[in-house]
Amino acid sequence: MKFKFTSVVMMLFLLSYQLSAQEERQKEKKLVFIIVDGIAADMIPKAKTPNLDLIARDGDFTEAYVGGVKGSYSETPTISAVGYNSLLTGTWVNKHNVYGNEIKQPNYNYPTIFRLFSNDFPEKETAIFSTWEDNRTKLLGEHLVGSNFLKIGYAFDGFEKDTINFPHDPYREYIKNIDIKVAAEAAAYIKSDAPDLSWVYLEFSDDMGHGYGDSPQLYDAIAFEDQLIGQIYNSVKYRQANFNEDWLFIVTTDHGRSPQDGKHHGGQSDRERSTWIAMNKKANQYFKKQIPAIVDILPTMVSFLDIDVENSVQQEWDGISLIDKVDAMYLSAKLNGESIKLSWKALTEKDAEAKLYIARTNNVKYGANDDYELLGTALIKDGGAKFPLIKKSENYKILMVTPNHQLNTWIIN
């Protein structure tokens, strides 16, 4: 009798565990990312940020960088809209082509997270909450041919144009009031309607940096933005507690500040390139032991949301996921006589192989695909390889395919 009772208890336990695991797998995945403008990594420990601290305790926090590879073809201005688009597309400026806040000619052949998501899940809802209307109309390219007539489900933006409700004052208090309005709407809408993919943009911290530099005003602004982030995070936690939903919540910034006084940005100083990432999920070893980049956020979002992305798009990403296994980073290439020499930083000690490919065209820039030829294979842990260069060209694109992801680099003559 005792044996039968124990067996029944074990069966019930296993059934309960299986049902719980199945329920976890079936949770609806949703995502919010917040860009809070112009906060260098060294400023976070000096400001009151209890909500960022809470997010980090729930998940992880790291220093990060923007600006591409300094001194190379991918060097990217540390300017706001440029940083936003690096996050949105997972590429540096040499690809997405947004060089300034004027957003003159974005290259929509490098699709944003919103376009990738809407292509795969046209029935799901997207939302944007922002000071600037340009974030939606120019960067995301809503209703434009280049973005395949992307439609954002819910847009709450464009308040910088509203001089009636937000009269422009020299102390930029109107931007503070816009941030309050944007965050309140984001928190309320996420709590009630739970869009599947949301972007929230907050600006006031950058304005205080430009106006006052390293100052009490700037650190007060960071604490103020942290409170707004907390409002939105509370809505996400409410949804997770009351609905069968699994949320990824990411907060980052678009650039750092000038080393002299913190008033400016746009250059390639370490402080202007220095940013950070906070998220409510435990990250991988790459996130914990290396310094990731803003371009790593897009592959992370794609992975979490289970978006099916064409390989030709993934080949162009300059970032790698912060939540999946990562085999290598920092792929670089250079010509060495009649050979091509490749190097990378290995993040695995296993005897795993990578396949190395080369293309002599950049057709993706014009909306077409490139033809890659196999150079050969190499052990990832070796950190490099050398291959004969059979055909010569003005420029080369190199692709490294590992068991878990891809890396790319260019050689520009």
The domain boundary, picked from 314, 340, 359, lies at 314
Is there a single domain that holds both residue 310 and residue 406?
no
Is the sign of the CA dihedral 231, 237, 243, 249 positive or negative? positive
pLDDT at 392: 87
Is there a single domain that holds both residue 253 and residue 344?
no
Res 317 pLDDT > 80: yes
Work out the end-to-end distance of the chain between its first and last CA atoms, rounded to an integer number of angstroms: 81
Q: How many CB atoms within 10 Å of residue 8?
A: 10
Q: Counting beta carbons within 10 angstroms of the beta carbon of residue 102, is it exposed (0 to 12), middle (13 to 18) or buried (19 or more)?
A: exposed
CATH label of the domain that carries residue 238: 3.40.720.10
Range of weakest confidence among 101-105, 276-280, 345-349: 345-349
pLDDT at 169: 96
Res 4 pLDDT > 60: no
- Residue 45 belongs to a domain: yes
Angle, nearest 10°, between helix axes 50-58 and 216-242?
A: 40
CATH label of the domain that carries residue 374: 2.60.40.10
Q: What is the largest CA-CA distance in the chain?
A: 83
Is there a single domain that holds both residue 266 and residue 133?
yes
Distance CA 380, CA 405 (A): 12
Res 120 pLDDT > 50: yes
Is there a single domain that holds both residue 346 and residue 306?
no
Is there a single domain that holds both residue 256 and residue 394?
no
Tokens of 352: 């795993």
Is there a single domain that holds both residue 275 and residue 338?
no
Distance CA 26, CA 21 (A): 9
Q: In what order do the strands lie in the sheet with 339-346?
A: 328-336, 339-346, 384-388
Angle, nearest 10°, between helix axes 216-242 and 204-212?
A: 170
Is there a single domain that holds both residue 272 and residue 376?
no
- Residue 192 belongs to a domain: yes
Is there a single domain that holds both residue 35 and residue 108?
yes
Mean pLDDT of 165-189: 97
Mean pLDDT of 262-277: 98
- Count H helices and E strands in the chain, helices first: 13, 14
Is the sign of the CA dihedral 373, 376, 382, 386 positive or negative? negative
Res 349 pLDDT > 90: no
Is there a single domain that holds both residue 84 and residue 207?
yes
Instruction: Find how far residue 155's CA is from the centre of its chain.
Output: 20
The domain boundary, picked from 279, 314, 349, lies at 314
pLDDT over 70, % of the chain: 94
pLDDT at 303: 98
What does the mean pLDDT of the chain come to?
Answer: 94
Number of independent structural domains in the chain: 2
- Residue 319 belongs to a domain: no
Is there a single domain that holds both residue 256 and residue 358?
no
DSSP state of 100: S
Is there a single domain that holds both residue 96 and residue 140?
yes
- Residue 8 belongs to a domain: no
Structural domain boundaries, residue 406: 328-412
pLDDT at 390: 83
